[in-house]
Amino acid sequence: MKKNLAVKLSQISKKYYLHHDKPTLIESIFSRKEEFWALSNINLEIKTGSKIGIIGPNGAGKSTLLKIITGIATPTKGKVNTQGKIASLIDVEAGFHPDLSGKDNIYLNGLLLGMSKYALDEKFNKIVNFSGIGKFVNAPLHTYSSGMKLRLGFSVAVFSDPDILIIDEIISAGDEEFQRKSFQKMKSFFKDDKTIIFASHNLAEIKQLCPITVYISRGQIKSKGQTKKVITNYLNNQS
């Protein structure tokens, strides 16, 4: 893999099996299941420091693609190569344990994201303050609302100082103030030398933040290039 590449996907395909009715044990063993290819023969190179938008209709394969790059999902076929520490804002609750306190989960999730104990000690107060969970930091996670868990997961991820940041829609959890802070934090990432892969249905945000965009439909890349041209192509195909 070339040194100037952050991500290289080679012939990536991902297959799922669909069950239209809840099968019995015997049926699940002997019945034929319908195959669904969420991705098919994806080839993509992303240069280090680039900001790439991912667009496409619902069910196009955007989230599956991001999960494969992150390592949350494994491809059925093909090879994934990445260089650098990755943090994802896809399933921000992944790695959390419901019976541990918010504090313990910060350390657990941070370690899973590649942070050192020293770095977590240094950034702990910033993570807590940004998340807005306050005194609940010592309460067990199962007492948190879904919004609190999302805010905590988001805060750990953005303070993990990743080389590659993967975003599936900018976070909308929490009040207006937290959403404003989140968007400003994201904009600061887009201004530095980090590699960012940003999937969204908000074409205005994609156009504002990403010079290059990839358009995916039915599990295949339809076009890649200058964002304005790719968005025009996408909109023409939706009409």
Tell me, what CATH number does 215's domain have? 3.40.50.300
* Pairwise CA distance, residues 146 & 163, whole Å: 28
Whether 147 is covered by a domain: the verdict is no
Contact between 13 and 37 (Cβ < 8 Å): yes
Whether 113 is covered by a domain: the verdict is no
Whether 94 is covered by a domain: the verdict is no
- Is 220 or 29 the better-scoring residue by pLDDT? 220
Whether 137 is covered by a domain: the verdict is no
Whether 64 is covered by a domain: the verdict is yes
The pLDDT-based confidence of 27 (bands split at 50, 70, 90) is: low
Whether 128 is covered by a domain: the verdict is no
Lowest-confidence pick of 27-41, 97-111, 191-205: 27-41
Contact between 51 and 228 (Cβ < 8 Å): no
The pLDDT-based confidence of 171 (bands split at 50, 70, 90) is: low
Which residues touch 94 (CB under 8 Å, ≥6 apart)?
Answer: 72, 153
Residue 68's pLDDT is what?
A: 95
- Is 20 or 50 the better-scoring residue by pLDDT? 50
Domain that holds residue 229: 5-84+163-238
Whether 138 is covered by a domain: the verdict is no
The pLDDT-based confidence of 45 (bands split at 50, 70, 90) is: very high
Read off the pLDDT of each residue in 165-171 and give the average, rounded to a whole number.
81
Whether 196 is covered by a domain: the verdict is yes
Residue 137's pLDDT is what?
A: 96
The tally of domains found in the chain comes to: 1
Write out pLDDT tens, residues 175-213.
677 878 887 887 788 888 889 999 999 999 899 889 999
Residue 66's pLDDT is what?
A: 95
Whether 19 has a pLDDT exceeding 70, the answer reads: no
Q: How far is CA 55 from CA 8, 98, 199, 222, in A?
A: 19, 33, 6, 10
Contact between 36 and 73 (Cβ < 8 Å): no
* Pairwise CA distance, residues 44 & 9, whole Å: 5
Whether 168 has a pLDDT exceeding 80, the answer reads: yes
pTM, to two decimals? 0.83
Residue 151's pLDDT is what?
A: 87
Express as a percent the part of the chain with pLDDT over 90.
61
